Structures are given as structure tokens and as C-alpha cells.
Amino acid sequence: MSGAAGSVALVGAGPGDPNLLTVKARRRLDEADVILHDALVTPELLGTCPDSAEIVDVGKRPNSNGGRLTQAEINRLLVRATRGGRDVVRLKGGDPYVFGRGGEEAEFLAAAGVDVEVVPGLTSAVTAPAVAGIPVTHRDHASCLTVVTGHEDPTKAESALDWAALADTVAAGGTLVVLMGVGRLPETVATLRDHEVAADTPVAMVEKATWDAEYTLTGTLSTIVERAVDVGIEPPAVTVVGDVVDVRERVIDASQSVPARECADGTAGRLRSDGGSR
């Protein structure tokens, strides 16, 4: 990434655990002059960045003045950060091209004449269920995976999602994964039920996957909303709907029937049954 002109790498940070960075992502971070990160990048991961790099939080949350950085402001900041030939990493949770607005940023940078590279990351749509013991596909349960956002652009006149088709997919045994959907969980559940998805369809919510505070909640379409309120599920959390959720209990039973192995980073090598306590 070195050179006189400066450049931007859109880097996927994965779900949060620094050990799940790709080799290329690690290299780009180590070479960066400036790192602009979003709100979902964990302090543990940021702590592995070089001391020489300028680190800027551009997460779309209220700042000290009560305002928020807009996407347009972030785009302009990326271009300015490359001045003087600096190499910039735009560090995003998960994968930059899976509901991460990476496509929009790549288009803006290209139009501004800035060299841009995309470094894919592990998307939470797959990794969050996986660390909770839930395979998103399974020969005996699901041959189809659909990933949707639970937080569509509020300026849209109507939803771009075909909920009738999504319901048909789940009813036929497919897996539905909803990202950024905690706030609209009641509406999502109600819509699936309105389209005749069975009330006993399994559902899981995986909060802060691979973080120290990871927590997994399971239920059904008839119970998950109340249970999520009871335990206080908060973003970021991934919601999984479909028969594959039931695999979790069998995997956990097997995992806990043998002593936990300690991983190289000192963490337990077996699945946690509840992901934590509330």
C-alpha cells in the first residue's frame, strides 16, 4: 500500500476477536498511517494496532457535541486522510461489503481518484451463529441461506425486502439471518407470523459474538421477543431463524461432555451453553 499518492484499504475486522482477522487484514493494519474505524471494532482489536498509526473513531454514534458523523462526512474524511501519501485503513466490523456501506465508500473513493483496495472479513452473518454452535446450512436441515438487514434506510418509501418470499424460504427449511435487527425484532417476528411461518420455528440471537460479553439466547417465533426483553439483548446481535438453530443444543451437549481444551490465546475451546449470565 505504499506509494506517493496514498491509498485506502477497506478492511473487514471480522466479528471482534483479533484472532479472527485475516492475514492480509493484519498486514494492512500494521502498515497503516491512519486507521478510521467504526463503532463495532472492539477495543481489544484496536489495541493491536501500531502505536505509530493515527486512530480515528468514525462510528455513527453521537459525538461529544451531540452530533453524528454522516456517511458523506466519512467519505470526505477518507479522501483527506490520504493527503501527503498516507496509507489509510477503513476498518469495519464483519465484512465491508455485507451491510457495511463499503460499496458506497469504494465508489466515492474511486470517483475521487483515490486508489482503493477491499480486504474481505469474516461476516457476523456466518461467524456469530457458528461460535454459538449453529451451522447456517446443514444437509439435514437447510440448503438455503438468506441474509437481510433489520435496519433498512429509513428514507425508503417501502421495504425492499420481499417478506412473503422470505417466509416461504423459512417455512421450506431455509435459514434466515437478520443483521442489525434488535430494535425491530417485534416487527420482524410479527411479519413472519403474518406470512404463516410456524410459531414454533426455532430462533436464536447471538449478542456480541466472539467478544468477552458474548451471549446466546434461543427460543421460537412465539417466545423470542419476550425472552429478548427479559434478558436485555442489545446490539450488536445477529438473529437466526430456522431449523438449524436446534443443532446448537446437540453440539453443546457433545462439547460439554469432554473437558474444555485451552486454546492458544488462553480461551476455552468448547462452546458455552448460555454465552454468559444476565
Q: What crossing angle do the helices spanning 71-81 and 102-111 adopt, rounded to 10°? A: 50
pLDDT score recorded for residue 254: 65
Same domain, 192 and 111: no
Question: Which tens digit of pLDDT belongs to each residue from 259-271?
Answer: 433 444 444 344 5
**Residue 263 placed within a domain:** no
Q: 90-107: per-residue pLDDT in tens?
A: 999 999 999 999 999 999
pLDDT in tens, 106-162: 999 999 999 999 999 999 999 999 999 999 999 999 999 999 999 875 456 678 899
Residue 74 within any structural domain of the chain: yes
User: Which residues span the domain enclosing 82?
Assistant: 7-122
pLDDT at position 66: 52
> What are the distances in angstroms from CA 67 to CA 37, 61, 62, 98?
17, 8, 5, 26
Q: Per the domain annotation, does 157 fall within a domain?
A: yes
pLDDT of residue 277: 43
pTM tops 0.75: yes
Q: Strand pairing of 54-57 and 34-37? A: parallel
Query: What is the number of domains present in the chain?
Result: 2
Catalytic residue chosen out of the listed positions 24, 57, 60, 115: 60
Percent of the chain at pLDDT exceeding 70: 85
Q: Is the pLDDT of residue 39 over 80?
A: yes
Q: Can 60 be counted among the known catalytic residues?
A: yes
More confident residue, 12 or 252: 12
d(CA 73, CA 75): 5
What are the distances in angstroms from CA 94 to CA 4, 30, 140?
30, 19, 28
Secondary structure (3-state) at 143: coil
pLDDT tens column, 158-176 = 788 999 999 999 999 999 9
In this structure, which long-range contacts are made by residues 187-193, counting pairs with CB atoms below 8 Å and at least 24 apart in sequence? 188/150, 188/239, 189/221, 189/224, 189/225, 191/163, 191/167, 192/163, 192/166, 192/167, 192/221, 192/241, 193/221
**150 and 234 belong to one structural domain:** yes
Please pick, among 17, 87, 92, 180, the residue that the annotation labels catalytic.
Answer: 180
Q: What residues contact 129, with CB distance under 8 A and at least 6 apart? A: 135, 136, 177, 204, 206, 238, 240, 244
Helix (H) or strand (E) holding 104: helix 102-111
17 among known catalytic residues: no
pLDDT single digits (tens) 42-82: 999 999 999 999 999 998 655 555 567 899 999 999 999 99
Residue 111 sits in the same domain as residue 233: no
* Catalytic option among 17, 33, 38, 87: 38
pLDDT band at 4, cuts 50/70/90? low
204: enclosing H helix or E strand: strand 202-207
Same domain as 217, residue 116: no
Write down the residue that cell numbers 457476523 correspond to: 124
Name the DSSP letter for residue 94: B
Q: Is residue 271 part of a domain?
A: no
Query: Which CATH number goes with the domain that contains 243?
Result: 3.30.950.10
The verdict on whether 38 is a catalytic residue reads yes
Res 105: pLDDT: 98
Is 88 in the same domain as 164? no
Residue-level pLDDT at 267: 40
Question: Would residue 77 count as lying in a domain?
Answer: yes
